[in-house]
Amino acid sequence: MKMKYWKVVCRYGHVGKRKDVSVARYLKTNANLDIYEVMLIASTMPGVKCRGILEVTPISKATYQSGKESEKENLYLKKLMSFKPKQEGKKEVAS
């Protein structure tokens, strides 16, 4: 199956009132998807603000691979991916 590779710059929230962090994300999709469909996929990613897609650009496979490596080093994404929300109904007990 033929694939397309994309660089999507997203605005992430929860860093202060009316503030955001712009982060480049690298996506791999089926070749039949267009820019609009990629934008819709990216807009549903966790943490992305409403109207948070700044740029969608088709890229090469090599750029995609190096971009995925840079995502692993991004401190904001590390924090976002390791976040575990509190479960409702469980009481916190100090030890």
CATH of residue 67's domain is 3.10.20
pLDDT level of residue 95 (50, 70, 90 thresholds):
very low
DSSP assignment of 75-95, as one string? HHHHHHHH--PPPTTPPP---
- Each residue's pLDDT tens digit, 16-62: 667 778 889 999 999 999 999 999 999 998 888 888 899 999 999 99
Task: Count other C-beta atoms under 10 Å from residue 78's C-beta.
Answer: 12
**60 or 72: which leads in pLDDT:** 60
Q: How many domains does the chain have?
A: 1
* 80 or 2, which is more confident: 2
Residue at 27 is within a domain: yes
pLDDT exceeding 70 applies to what percent of the chain? 82
Mean pLDDT, residues 2-24: 84
Q: Which domain holds residue 36?
A: 3-76
User: What type of residue sits at position 2?
Assistant: K
